Structure 1
Amino acid sequence: MDSAFSHHNHHQCQTSAVEQARRLCEEQGVRFTKLREQLFTLIWESHKPVTAYKLLDQIKDSDFSATPPTVYRTLDFLLEQGLIHRINSLNAFIGCCQPGARHTGTFIICERCEHAQEVDHANILHAIQQVSEQHHFQMKSYVTEVYGLCPQCQHPDEHDNNKGLA
């Protein structure tokens, strides 16, 4: 999977994610309905986390007469299937780069362009597990969100103001 912070063919990135989601749903024996696919595709439109209400606004333009409960049920389905993640601090959702592999995420999020990248590193998980064990805490899951500036936003003059990033 290409980095959210690098120039890449985002259409291919999105198409690949949708194909993988269809396949995983089929393998799990669950339906990837038209609404589920449409919301998933909208989430993968960019590497920026998107709120449920923005998704609702976008989907109202289509054939669906979606309501907030419908959108939230669909998001719950996508979360349960491991196809998306929730960025808690933003109350927003982003596509999972490792669907099908049950995991919790660590995200690096640019404060300027708002792109986010899921990063999994064994050392992060290991450190969190160690701290949990030291405090006799039974960890269920974790989400780590790291904010800062991506390479393009650190040096915008060198990267043509993020043009071409999706």
Structure 2
Amino acid sequence: MIDGEVKVLSHEGTDKQHAHHPHHHHDDAKGFVRAVELASKQRGLRLTPLRREVLELIAAVRKPVKAYDLLDQLREKHGNAAPPTVYRALDFLLENGFIHKLESVNAFVSCHHPAEAHQVPFLICDICSNAEEVCDDRVAELIEAQAKALGFRPQAQTLEVHGTCKDCRKS
């Protein structure tokens, strides 16, 4: 990583890089699903048709999506889809780092780096609900270092910053 680099990846499909360092990222839903399929195959994971379908729905939205919204979309194709069906698929996708859960809004977004295990902070717009993934390892490393200094052993990190995005501030 270039010193001082911060890369922000938007779940609106735009890539906003604040340095001159290329970073692979999936702007299109189909490309993202292909990357997850490849990562699943490489790790020996089973991406079932239902898991794939839930993944496709999350990728297509490009904004945080709630589990019950996913369930409603699944019921359009599979009238008998039940909440446990969606939650099992979401659990698999979360456990394997293919999606992120935004705890403060209880919603899910696709991960821009499905082949890498990582913790990332999100910037969440309270007006348009856009969520941007901030890809800067220094943030996670700083939290890890502070936790270690305090004798704390973290199991997971979720950092969500709420505010107003540039586009909503303009309007």
Q: What is aligned with 2:33?
A: 18
Contact (CA 8 Å) 1:35, 1:64: kept in 2 or not?
Answer: no
Q: What is aligned with 1:154?
A: 169
Contact (CA 8 Å) 2:119, 2:140: kept in 1 or not?
Answer: no
Which residue of 98, 102, 117 corresponds with 1:102?
117
Secondary structure at 1:136's aligned position in 2?
Answer: coil
Q: 1:102 to 1:48 in 2, by over 3 A?
A: same
**Identity level (%):** 36
Q: What is aligned with 1:32?
A: 47
Secondary structure at 1:140's aligned position in 2?
Answer: coil
Partners in 1 of 2:137 and 2:119 — Cα distance? 12
Partners in 2 of 1:97 and 1:6 — Cα distance? 10
Q: What is aligned with 2:157?
A: 142
CA-based RMSD:
2.1
Normalising by structure 2, we get a TM-score of 0.81
Contact (CA 8 Å) 1:107, 1:117: kept in 2 or not?
Answer: yes
Partners in 1 of 2:98 and 2:14 — Cα distance? 23
Secondary structure at 2:61's aligned position in 1?
Answer: coil
- How many residues are paired up? 154
Normalising by structure 1, we get a TM-score of 0.84
Partners in 2 of 1:84 and 1:70 — Cα distance? 17
Q: What is aligned with 1:3?
A: 10
Residues 1:76 and 2:91 aligned together: yes
One-letter identity of the residue aligned with 1:4 = H
Q: 1:128 to 1:36 in 2, by over 3 A?
A: same
